Amino acid sequence: MNLPDSYRKVVVTDPSLDFRAATEVIEVPMPELAPDEVLIRNHYAGVNASDINIAAGVYSEGKALPLDTGVEACGEVVAVGSDIQDYKVGDAVLTTLFTGIGAGYREYYPAKVSNIIHAPDLSPGVLCLPIAAATAYIALHFVAEMGQDEVVLVTAAAGGVGHLAAQFAKIAGNHVIGTCGSAEKVALLEDLGVDRIINYREEDPAAVLADEYPEQLTVVMENVGKSLFDTAVDNLAIRGRLVVNGYISEYQSQPEVMQQARVYYKLLWKSASLRGFLLPHYLEHLEEAIGESFRLYSEGKLRPVTDPTTFKGVEQVADAVEYLYTGQNVGKIVVSF
């Protein structure tokens, strides 16, 4: 394969929570491969809520500008270093947290083989498995200590992580409640077998949970924040566990200051707990989580869903990140190259 002399990537040049303002597309020379590296041509990159934190420099304190962006990509090996034995040209591979931030929003990527994994296939859906599925799996199985016959609430259940968390909870044999905000998302969750779907644009989640599941939520995977978080806390069961996986409702603003009794007044009397969760703090479980995700995917038991909206090339990365924050996406948002 004849490779170009240069390629394009999205980098942070002026850190800000405004991804578009913080980043620009630059062209850089094609690198020379080290003996233990492969060159990957990215086909698909995944969009994540953390992209605006990357743009703001939250994870790169002390590093010099410009900063690379994008967390995950699925691509094809187009060249291999002289010491490479386990990969060949044409292999489908994934670059994820193994590689670190910066593997995604670029046309080509040189990576050490210790930082990549073989992909089951070269498709947008595969992007859901290493980070989104692993996040859902670890959050539920290791952080929430989810068992069987539990009542599990997943907020933003039709999102990139949420739709996989709902499936893992069902696979484990639980009653699953999912919140979402459109008829299209309701249809997806029905198709995935979610037992009770709350479209918050048509029903009040607080009223539904208080009426149908009063203090019965044994596991909550919370991705939204604000009033939905408060509602979930209010309806935790005795010994219920709420995992804070994110609070996308406040990512682009300053934290909302609340004037109310501290949360331990609600937790103590039910022996309930709040558990914060960041995937990098649980990397010891990543191999199992990815392995199980691949296995269930290959067996047709786990269905990754990608949003049908088309985003093409590095020029549309900012469009894709902004689209995520409209709340319209059904499944994971993918940029293709």
pLDDT band at residue 97 under the 50/70/90 scheme: low
pLDDT band at residue 114 under the 50/70/90 scheme: confident
Q: Is residue 220 within 8 Å of 153, Cβ to Cβ?
A: yes
Q: Which domains does the chain have, with CATH numbers?
A: 6-122+306-336 (3.90.180.10), 130-280 (3.40.50.720)
pLDDT band at residue 2 under the 50/70/90 scheme: confident
Q: For 156-174, what is each residue's pLDDT tens digit?
A: 999 999 999 999 999 999 9
pLDDT band at residue 98 under the 50/70/90 scheme: low
Q: Which pLDDT does position 321 carry in this prediction?
A: 97
Q: Is residue 242 within 8 Å of 266, Cβ to Cβ?
A: no
The three state secondary structure string of 165-218 is: HHHHHHHCCCEEEEEECCHHHHHHHHHCCCCEEEECCCCCHHHHHHHHCCCCEE
Q: Is the pLDDT of residue 99 over 70?
A: no
Provide the pairing of β-strand 73-80 with 108-112: unpaired
Q: Name the residue among 311, 279, 298 with its Cα closest to residue 118.
A: 298
Q: Name the residue among 310, 303, 293, 315 with its Cα closest to residue 96.
A: 293
State the average pLDDT for the chain.
Answer: 94
Return the SS3 of 57.
coil
Q: Is the pLDDT of residue 285 over 70?
A: yes
CA distances from 93 to 135, 138, 266, 271, 306 (A): 19, 22, 46, 44, 18
Q: Which pLDDT does position 251 carry in this prediction?
A: 84
pTM recorded for the entire structure: 0.89
Q: For 224-260, what is each residue's pLDDT tens digit?
A: 999 999 999 999 999 999 999 999 888 888 788 888 8
Return the SS3 of 77.
strand
The single residue listed with the structure tokens 């208080």 is 210
Furthest CA-CA distance within the chain: 67
**How much of the chain exceeds pLDDT 70, in percent?**
99
Between these two residues, 328 and 96, which has the higher pLDDT value?
328
Distance, in Å, from the CA atom of 12 to the CA atom of 289, rounded to the nearest integer, reads: 31
Residue 326 carries which side chain, given as an amino acid letter?
T
For the sheet with 6-12, list strands across it. Answer: 23-29, 6-12, 67-68
